[in-house]
Every structure is written in structure tokens, then in C-alpha cells.
């Protein structure tokens, strides 16, 4: 019989795709998920897309007894359960720290007495803050931030201390963390808690830093996560996608099936421990391009992006992944290019109903001075 895997947060977007990937490879998959209403709607029902062979335990990762039950007979764990939303984390501070930091602490507390062969924790590109840049002489530059007065003047690019331009380059794992939201801080805490306890107790841990994951099943009515899902919910309601700054900020969009592949490899590749790996596509696109292409593929090309020239406090300009290490260590090879991924997303969107809560969320942030 195949090995038994627990996925916390496995009823969500990435977790459900990971469950499919693992089931197809012959594993037994159990999920512990509290079916949070922001993701799963007010009825908190088992999502229809969760494969019937997946054993769902409805429970909270902060509940020690629920975690103990879920870990019975389990060989390896993926820890995906988290609140996911950069902007929202800046005013629901306690909830984010509670779910993400304490949820991970509870899981680790129980794992001490129920050791597993491998623990894979979902980390995030958000911990980098700004990605890596090179100066004119090709030297790497870190720890730069855009200040408020620069942004108020509409000068969006990251500049060096003398005001000179820099070139954004793929960000490797050894770039220092620069935490600019409670969400990013909590992802860093999750990652570090797992690595630290794993090392102390001999539990092999792999932390995967996902970049911008997109694909089917991402919660469309959640206005805080997934830029493509947010654009989709606007377009399906015949609204133009709203874009901060000038839309030329670059991100790395990685298809959810590629993330699922990386997760499976993180359990299957032998002798991994204490490894931290970027999981992106290795390519980057300006946000504006993404909004335009999705609109075109949906047959709504007239809904051109609304370039607001507004900005979010703590937002970054460019960050995209250097995936060399994941290629070497995991044998990870992204399979889905952006164009294919967008076509598949559009086909799925054709049958979806999305409540566009983006403006409401924007007001929420603006009323707190978090967007300007």
C-alpha cells in the first residue's frame, strides 16, 4: 500500500491539486482543513473539486487533539494551512498570527511525539520583500526599499542610494528576508519554526517558497489573494482589472500543477533535510501583461486594465524566482507556460460565478491608510 500523507489546508487551492498529484502517484491522502469561510464560503462545505478518495478531517490546525487524530498512521506531512492575504494581514493582525504562527507551533508540538519521515512547509516569496537587483557594475544590491515620497511622485522603480537605476534579476534563496507585512512575517515564522524544530528533533524538513501560484480552484471571491483570481473576478463581472502603480511591476506566475509536482518531489527525493527552495516558473511578466492577456483569452479584450497609479504601503516592485536550486535538488521542471495556463484558467472560469469584492477590499485598505 502507498504511503500515507497528511496535507494541512489540503481543501484549498494548492492543497487540492497536491492531493490529486499524490493520489495519482499511489499515495493515501488525508486532509486536515477548517474549511475557512473566506476561502470556502459561508456554508463551509467540502469542496466539490476535492477528489472523493481524499479523506477529509474537518478541524483546525490550532486544535491539538484534531492534529493528533489527523497524524495517526501518517508517514509525511505537508503544512499548507494558513490565512493567505498580504493586505488583510495588516489589519487582521491577531487572526493571521493566530492561524499561521500558532497553527504551525501546534503542529510541531504534536509532531515531537508523532515523528514523520518528512515535513514539507509552504513558505512564500513574500518573505523576500523586494527581489534581487544588480547595480551598473553587475554587483548584487539588497535591502533597498522605495520611500513614501518617491512613490507619491509616481517614481515606481527601485533606485540605489544615489538615485541611480538598477536591474532586477532572478532572486535566489540566499537573498536576505525583508518582511513588510504580517503575512510575510508569519510565513517566515512558519518556515523557521519548522526548520528549527526539524533540526532539533531529527525530522527532515523542506521549505518551499512558492511564488505567484495560479490555476483552477483558486477562491475567486476572496479579494485578498491571487492576483489572477482577483483579475478574473473583475472580468467575469464586466469590470476592468484594477492595477496598482503603472502595471510594469514583474512577478513570477507558476502554474499550480507545477507547484504540486515540486511538492511531491520534496517528499520523494531521498536525503533532503533543512532545504529551502524557490518554486516559481523561472520566467517573469509585468502585471499589466497578465491582466491584458487574461481579458483577451476570456473574450473581454475591451476591458483593458485600469492603471490606478495608486500604491500599497509595503508593496514591492519586482520579484521573480531563481529556480536553479530546485532544478538541481528536486529535479523540478516547470511544465506549463503562462499562455497554456491562462487558456486552461479561462476554460474553468467559463463555468464559475464570482462575487467581485475587490472594490470593497480596496476601500477597506484605503480607509486604514494602507493604499495611497
Ligand X SMILES: NC(=O)c1ccc[n+]([C@@H]2O[C@H](COP(=O)([O-])OP(=O)(O)OC[C@H]3O[C@@H](n4cnc5c(N)ncnc54)[C@H](O)[C@@H]3O)[C@@H](O)[C@H]2O)c1
Contacts with ligand X, residue ranges (CB under 6 A): 8-9, 11-15, 32-36, 39-40, 60-62, 80-84, 99, 103, 122, 124, 187, 210, 212-213, 219, 226
Nearer to ligand X, 78 or 133 (CB): 78
The x, y and z cell numbers of residue 187, run together, are 510565513
b/e sequence 178-196, b meaning 16+ C-beta within 10 Å: bbbbbbbbbbbbbbbbbbe
Rounded-to-integer distance, Cα 279 and Cα 201, Å: 26
Least Å distance between CB 153 and ligand X? 31
Q: Is 285 a catalytic residue?
A: no
Residue keyed to cell 507545477: 258
* Nearer of residues 225 and 362 to ligand X, judged by Cβ: 225
Query: CB of residue 166 vs ligand X: minimum separation in angstroms?
Result: 25
CB of 46 to ligand X, least distance (A): 11
CB of 135 to ligand X, least distance (A): 29
User: Phi and psi dihedrals of 321, rounded to 5?
Assistant: -90, 140
Please say which residue, 99 or 245, places its beta carbon nearer to ligand X.
Answer: 99
Residue 76 pairs in a beta bridge with 5, 118
Here the cell at position 243 is 492595477
Catalytic residue among 27, 78, 128, 183: 183
Beta carbon of residue 122, minimum distance to ligand X (angstroms, whole number): 4
Q: Which is nearer to ligand X, 8 or 171 (CB)?
A: 8
**Cell digits of residue 150:** 518617491
Yes or no: say if 92 and 185 are a contact pair by the CB < 8 Å rule.
Answer: no
DSSP H helix total and E strand total for the chain = 14, 16
Q: Taking CB positions, which residue lies at the least distance from ligand X?
A: 12
Question: How far is 173 from 127, CA to CA, in rounded Å?
Answer: 10
State the CB neighbour count (10 A cutoff) for residue 153. Answer: 8
Q: Of 28 and 83, which CB lies nearer to ligand X in the complex structure? A: 83
Known catalytic residues are: 183
Amino acid at each position: 500500500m502507498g504511503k500515507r500523507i497528511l496535507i494541512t489546508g489540503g481543501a484549498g487551492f494548492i492543497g487540492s491539486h497536491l492531493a490529486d498529484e499524490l493520489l495519482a502517484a499511489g499515495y493515501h491522502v488525508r486532509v486536515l482543513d477548517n474549511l475557512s469561510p473566506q476561502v470556502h464560503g459561508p456554508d463551509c462545505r467540502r469542496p466539490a473539486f476535492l477528489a472523493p478518495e481524499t479523506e477529509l478531517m474537518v478541524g483546525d490546525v490550532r486544535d491539538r487533539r484534531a492534529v493528533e487524530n489527523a497524524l495517526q498512521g501518517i508517514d509525511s506531512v505537508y503544512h499548507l494551512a494558513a490565512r493567505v492575504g498580504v493586505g488583510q494581514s495588516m489589519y487582521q493582525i491577531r487572526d493571521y498570527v493566530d492561524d499561521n504562527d500558532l497553527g504551525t507551533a501546534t503542529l510541531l508540538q504534536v509532531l515531537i511525539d508523532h515523528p514523520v519521515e518528512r515535513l514539507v512547509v509552504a513558505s512564500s516569496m513574500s518573505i523576500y520583500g523586494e527581489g534581487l537587483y544588480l547595480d551598473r557594475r553587475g554587483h548584487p544590491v539588497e535591502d533597498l526599499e522605495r520611500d513614501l515620497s518617491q512613490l507619491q511622485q509616481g517614481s515606481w522603480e527601485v533606485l540605489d542610494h544615489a538615485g541611480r537605476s538598477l536591474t532586477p534579476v532572478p532572486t535566489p534563496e540566499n537573498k536576505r528576508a525583508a518582511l513588510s507585512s504580517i503575512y510575510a512575517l508569519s510565513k517566515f515564522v512558519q518556515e523557521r519554526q519548522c526548520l528549527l524544530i526539524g533540526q532539533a528533533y531529527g525530522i527532515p524538513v523542506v521549505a518551499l517558497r512558492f511564488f505567484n501560484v495560479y490555476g483552477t480552484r483558486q477562491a475567486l471571491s476572496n479579494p485578498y489573494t491571487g492576483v489572477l483570481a482577483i483579475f478574473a473576478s473583475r472580468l467575469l463581472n464586466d469590470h476592468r482589472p484594477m492595477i496598482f502603480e503603472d502595471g510594469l511591476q514583474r512577478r513570477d506566475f507558476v502554474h499550480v500543477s507545477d507547484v504540486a509536482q515540486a511538492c511531491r518531489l520534496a517528499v520523494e527525493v531521498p536525503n533532503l533535510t533543512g532545504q529551502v527552495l524557490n518554486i516559481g516558473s523561472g520566467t517573469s511578466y509585468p502585471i499589466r501583461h497578465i491582466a491584458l492577456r487574461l481579458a483577451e483569452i476570456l473574450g473581454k479584450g475591451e476591458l483593458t486594465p485600469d492603471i490606478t497609479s495608486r500604491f500599497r504601503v509595503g508593496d514591492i516592485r519586482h520579484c521573480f524566482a531563481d529556480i536553479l536550486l530546485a532544478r538541481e535538488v528536486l529535479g523540478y521542471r516547470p511544465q506549463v507556460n503562462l499562455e497554456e495556463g491562462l487558456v486552461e484558467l479561462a476554460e474553468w472560469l467559463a463555468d464559475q460565478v464570482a462575487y467581485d469584492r475587490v472594490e470593497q477590499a480596496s476601500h477597506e485598505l484605503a480607509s486604514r491608510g494602507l493604499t495611497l
